[in-house]
C-alpha cells in the first residue's frame, strides 16, 4: 500500500549511492529510516497500511501472524525506537525502508521540488522530510512486514544525528599557527 509520510525525521539515509547490506552479496540498495512520533497521523497511516496489507496477505489468520511479526527486528520494518540505541530514536517509532538498486535511484527533491544531488548536502540524517513509501507483507520462507520508498522531499532542517551532514566552515574558529621544531 502506497502512503505519504509528512514532516518525519530522516535517519541513516543512503539516497544517492546504493550500498550492499552484506558486503559481497551483490544486492545493492538505497535505504532510509523515518522516525515517527507515536500516536501521530503518520503513525496511524503506517499502522492502517500494515493492517490492510496483513489482511490481504494472510487472510483470516492475519492478526495472529502479525502479532508474531510485530517487534521482530528481521521481520518487521516498523519498530519501537526505544529498542535501539541511536540518537533521536528514544520515544519514537522507526520505519526502515529500502529500494533495490535495480529499481533505480529514488527521487530526491528540495522543498520547491528542485532535484537534489549528493553534493547539495541535503537531505541529511536529522533533517525533516516528506516521503513516498510502500508498505507490504511477505509470505513464505521469510514472512514479514516490509517497506520500500520511491522518493523523498526535503522539508526543513533539524539537529543532525550522529553521522549527519558535514560541518560547515562556520563550525570552526580561526586558529593561530604554532611553529614547533621536530627532531
Give the residue with greater pLDDT, 178 vs 128. Answer: 128
Q: Is residue 58 part of a domain?
A: yes
Distance CA 149, CA 153 (A): 12
Q: Is residue 176 part of a domain?
A: no
Q: Is residue 181 part of a domain?
A: no
Task: Check: CB of residue 46 under 8 Å from CB of residue 80.
Answer: no
Domain carrying residue 97: 2-160
Give me the CATH number covering residue 141. 2.40.50.140
Distance CA 173, CA 8 (A): 33
Model's pTM, two decimal places?
0.86
Q: Which of 1-10, 72-81, 98-107, 164-173 has the lowest mean pLDDT?
A: 164-173
Q: Is residue 89 part of a domain?
A: yes
Residues 100, 163, 91, 7, CA torsion sign: negative
Distance CA 75, CA 70 (A): 7
If one counts the domains in the chain, the total is 1
Read off the pLDDT of each residue in 29-39 and give the average, rounded to a whole number: 97
Q: Is residue 135 part of a domain?
A: yes
In this structure, how many other beta carbons lie within 10 angstroms of the beta carbon of residue 114? 9
Q: Is residue 180 part of a domain?
A: no
- Show the cell assigned to 84: 535501539
The per-residue pLDDT of the chain, averaged, comes to 91
Backbone angles phi, psi at 61, to 5 degrees: -95, 15
Torsion, Cα 161 166 168 173, to 10 degrees, reads 80
Q: Is residue 165 part of a domain?
A: no
Distance CA 50, CA 68 (A): 14
Q: Is residue 175 part of a domain?
A: no
Question: What digits encode the pLDDT tens for the residues 93-111?
Answer: 999 999 999 999 999 999 9
**pLDDT on residue 163:** 47
Q: Cα dist. 49→1, 8, 70, 102, 118 in Å?
A: 6, 17, 14, 25, 31
Amino acid at each position: 500500500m502506497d502512503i505519504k509520510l509528512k514532516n518525519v525525521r530522516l535517519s541513516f539515509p543512503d539516497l544517492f549511492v546504493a550500498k550492499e547490506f552484506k558486503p559481497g552479496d551483490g544486492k545493492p540498495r538505497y535505504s532510509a529510516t523515518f522516525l515517527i512520533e507515536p500516536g501521530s497521523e503518520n503513525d496511524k497511516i503506517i499502522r492502517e497500511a500494515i493492517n490492510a496489507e496483513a489482511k490481504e496477505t494472510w487472510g483470516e489468520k492475519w492478526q495472529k501472524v502479525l502479532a508474531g511479526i510485530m517487534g521482530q527486528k528481521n521481520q518487521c520494518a516498523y519498530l519501537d525506537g526505544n529498542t535501539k540505541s541511536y540518537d533521536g530514536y528514544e520515544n519514537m517509532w522507526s520505519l526502515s525502508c529500502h529500494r533495490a538498486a535495480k529499481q533505480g535511484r529514488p527521487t530526491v527533491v528540495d522543498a520547491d521540488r528542485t532535484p537534489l544531488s549528493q553534493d547539495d548536502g541535503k537531505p541529511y540524517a536529522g533533517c525533516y522530510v516528506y516521503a513516498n513509501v510502500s508498505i507490504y507483507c511477505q509470505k513464505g520462507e521469510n514472512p514479514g512486514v516490509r517497506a520500500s520508498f520511491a522518493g523523498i522531499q526535503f522539508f526543513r532542517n533539524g539537529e543532525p544525528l550522529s553521522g549527519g551532514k558535514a560541518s560547515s566552515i562556520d563550525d570552526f574558529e580561526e586558529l593561530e599557527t604554532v611553529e614547533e621544531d621536530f627532531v
